[in-house]
Amino acid sequence: MGNENAVSGKIEELEEEYSKTKHNKATNKHLGILRAKIARLKKEAAHKKTHHGTGFSVKKSGNATVALVGFPNAGKSSLLKHLTNVESKVADYAFTTIAVIPGIMEINGARIQVLDLPGIIEDAYKGRGGGTMIGSVIRIADLIAIVVDANAYKDAYRIIDELHKLNIFLNEPAPDIRVEKKTSGGIRFFGKIVGHEERYMIEALNETGIYNADITFGTPVDAEKFINYITESTVYTRSIIILNKVDLISQAEVDTLSERLHKDTGMDVLPVSASKRINIDSVKRELFQHLNLIKVYLKPKDGVPDLEKPLVLRKGATVGEAARAIHSKTAENLKYATVTGTSTKFDNQRVGQDHVLHDEDIITLFYYKII
């Protein structure tokens, strides 16, 4: 425990130094190193915490995971109940939910895990109100649904800001960075770096224990993105806004608020009333849409496709991944597949395991015989 306190004390100290330092060209380097140090200590602290068992660790299950994120009392638990039939305590006061409550939502043949989380609060990124642990759960989500009370729609901006400070970036593509560790030769960069701050990027690398590596950028990257990447503190997650409690405002207000939120954040906005069960089914469909999942139908060699039980995969999944989703062991014996659908030029086209499948493809897998 003493050690944990020492670590959090050190984090606080560094964060204070960070927030007191003016951001300008001269201090940039120092700030980057500070960030690298803070990130490393936070990781250490989070690691220690999970070993103490906090009720916050959660196992991913189903085809994909959605996290319901919002301030206290926004209606997250009410939503979980109507999306998944899992009871999570609902009450008319803040901080009702104090642990992660997972539920499973069934839609389009997919099983989507929905996580009801305790309400986050301002300065969650500093660890307030269990912020660090809530953040670590949010990071495993494939989609973040920001839940706001329609009467406090501006909370959405504050939540986006909090998530940003937790290094959870919404609807931004992840930078394309490859790090190949070496045993000698120092640090070498390949590709475009924005801002010519290689020196402090190297120092930050050294801070995380990397002294020799070839680093390749597929897309232009600046020092901040780079440092966040190497300290593994950043995730890039798709996100939408659920505007809850629309039963309390007029339809005209719903339209105005949805439009405003969409314009300001670029996110799709789904109006709903959890307690009055308005739009619940359309929220289910939209969540499925935003998870970028596809369905493929399996057809036995001499049979008809099973349209009842599609195989749900992430968009961009290959034949190999489909085989592994069915059975990890037999996938090793996959010889080829035949596919009918928009991913192929003609019906029953023979394809290899790297072939990328499309939604609604019909697929037959052929295996090597095991003797």
Closer to ligand GTP at the Cβ: 128 or 178? 128
- For the bound state, the minimum distance from the C-beta of residue 143 to Mg ion, rounded and expressed in Å, comes to 19
Closer to ligand GTP at the Cβ: 32 or 119? 119
User: Which residue is at the shortest CB distance from ligand GTP?
Assistant: 119
- For the bound state, the minimum distance from the C-beta of residue 244 to ligand GTP, rounded and expressed in Å, comes to 5
Determine the Cα–Cα distance for residues 38 and 14; give it in Å rounded to an integer: 7
- For the bound state, the minimum distance from the C-beta of residue 108 to ligand GTP, rounded and expressed in Å, comes to 24
Q: What is the dihedral of CA 212, 217, 218, 224, to 10 degrees?
A: 130
Site for Mg ion in 243-282 (CB under 5 A): none
The SS3 of residue 55 is: coil
Closer to Mg ion at the Cβ: 244 or 258? 244
Q: Which does 244 bind (CB under 5 to 8 A by kind): ligand GTP, Mg ion, none?
A: ligand GTP
Name, in order, each residue with C-beta under 8 angstroms of 214's C-beta and a sequence gap of 6 or more.
Answer: 179, 180, 182, 185, 188, 190
- Residue 178 CA neighbour count, 13 Å, CB half: 6
H/E stretch holding 33: helix 25-52
- For the bound state, the minimum distance from the C-beta of residue 96 to Mg ion, rounded and expressed in Å, comes to 5
The residues binding ligand GTP (CB under 6 A) are 70, 72-78, 90-92, 94-97, 118-119, 244-245, 247-248, 273-276
Q: Phi and psi for 294 in degrees, rounded to 5?
A: -125, 160
Q: Which does 194 bind (CB under 5 to 8 A by kind): Mg ion, ligand GTP, none?
A: none
Determine the Cα–Cα distance for residues 284 and 110; give it in Å rounded to an integer: 11
- For the bound state, the minimum distance from the C-beta of residue 124 to ligand GTP, rounded and expressed in Å, comes to 12
- For the bound state, the minimum distance from the C-beta of residue 172 to Mg ion, rounded and expressed in Å, comes to 28
In the 8-state DSSP scheme, what is residue 126? G
CB-CB contact of 265 with 163 (8 Å):
no
Q: Which does 224 bind (CB under 5 to 8 A by kind): Mg ion, ligand GTP, none?
A: none
Q: Which does 290 bind (CB under 5 to 8 A by kind): Mg ion, ligand GTP, none?
A: none
Determine if 96 is a binding residue for Mg ion (CB under 5 A).
yes
Q: What pairing do the DSSP bridges indicate for beta strands 101-107 and 110-116?
A: antiparallel
Nearest to 56 by CA among 127, 110, 105: 127
Sort 308 into a burial class: Cβ within 10 Å, 0-12 / 13-18 / 19+: exposed
Determine the Cα–Cα distance for residues 45 and 66; give it in Å rounded to an integer: 25
- For the bound state, the minimum distance from the C-beta of residue 122 to ligand GTP, rounded and expressed in Å, comes to 14
Closer to ligand GTP at the Cβ: 60 or 89? 89
How many residues of this chain bind Mg ion (CB under 5 A)? 4
Closer to Mg ion at the Cβ: 213 or 243? 243
Closer to ligand GTP at the Cβ: 96 or 330? 96
Given the rule CB under 5 A, which of 1-9, 95-103, 184-192, 214-222 is the region that contacts Mg ion? 95-103
Site string for Mg ion, 227-246 (x = CB under 5 A): --------------------
Nearest to 356 by CA among 326, 315, 323: 315
Helix axes 223-230, 198-207, angle to 10 degrees: 10
- For the bound state, the minimum distance from the C-beta of residue 189 to Mg ion, rounded and expressed in Å, comes to 46
The gap from C-alpha 46 to its chain's centroid, in whole angstroms, comes to: 18
Site for Mg ion in 67-86 (CB under 5 A): 76-77
- For the bound state, the minimum distance from the C-beta of residue 120 to ligand GTP, rounded and expressed in Å, comes to 8
Q: Which does 318 bind (CB under 5 to 8 A by kind): ligand GTP, Mg ion, none?
A: none
Closer to ligand GTP at the Cβ: 141 or 312? 141
Name, in order, each residue with C-beta under 8 angstroms of 40's C-beta and a sequence gap of 6 or more.
Answer: 207, 208, 231
Please report, as ranges, the residues that interact with Mg ion according to CB under 5 A: 76-77, 96-97
